[in-house]
Amino acid sequence: MKNLLLVSFIMISFSSWSQTAAIYFNKAFNKAAAGNYKSAIADYTKAIGKDSKFVEAYQNRGVAKYKLNDLKGAMSDFNKTIELDKMNADAFTGRANVNFKLSNFKEAINDCTSSLGLNPRDYVAYNLRGLAYSNIGDKANSCKDFTKAIELGSQSALKNRASFCK
């Protein structure tokens, strides 16, 4: 009976611990959706404190940090997301955005390529990779990526192709 009580206590404690991380995550998500990125980051950090392998919390915190131009922090969170989940296409695209903004165009291209290997319908990655190719002077690949992004529904790629593929 004593062992049963101990196991029950551990299970209840673990369940509460996970729910708390989820509660913080949901609060953060709603704050980020409302544009309150600083407060969202604080709640994502609390969620991560409760569950150090909470992939979505790292990824979303990376997005919030990117929105606040904390590129070093965003890079760190996207790197952690990828470390925890190497199949996360969105994390590669997020890190590509950071690399692009830091003018690390070849790294942005590599991250977009990784993302597209996991999700070949990601028009954001095609468009971003097209911009990165344009910045290193590779017009042929740039225009090819803009065209593919347009085929997949990107409106931004329409403007980019018109600007860069004359």
Q: Which residues have C-beta within 8 Å of that of residue 69, sequence separation ≥ 6? A: none
CATH number of the domain located at residue range(s) 107-166 in this protein: 1.25.40.10
pLDDT at 15: 45
What is the C-alpha separation between 147 and 61, in angstroms, rounded? 31
Helix, strand, coil abundance in the chain, percent, nearest 5: 80, 0, 20
Q: What is d(CA 166, CA 155) in angstroms, rounded to the nearest whole number?
A: 17
Do the Cβ atoms of 90 and 115 come closer than 8 Å? Answer: yes
Category of 154 on φ-ψ map: left (φ > 0), alpha (ψ -120 to 50) or beta: beta
pLDDT at 13: 43
CATH fold label, 15-85: 1.25.40
Per-residue pLDDT of the chain (166 residues; tens, 9 = 90+): 444 433 344 344 444 444 699 999 999 999 999 999 999 999 999 999 999 999 999 999 999 999 999 999 999 999 999 999 999 999 999 999 999 999 999 999 999 999 999 999 999 999 999 999 999 999 999 999 999 999 999 999 999 999 999 8
**Token duo for residue 46:** 């609390």
The reported pLDDT for the residue numbered 10 is: 39
What is residue 12's predicted lDDT score, i.e. its pLDDT? 42
Same fold? 15-85, 107-166: yes
Taking the domains of the chain in order of start, what are their residue ranges?
15-85, 107-166
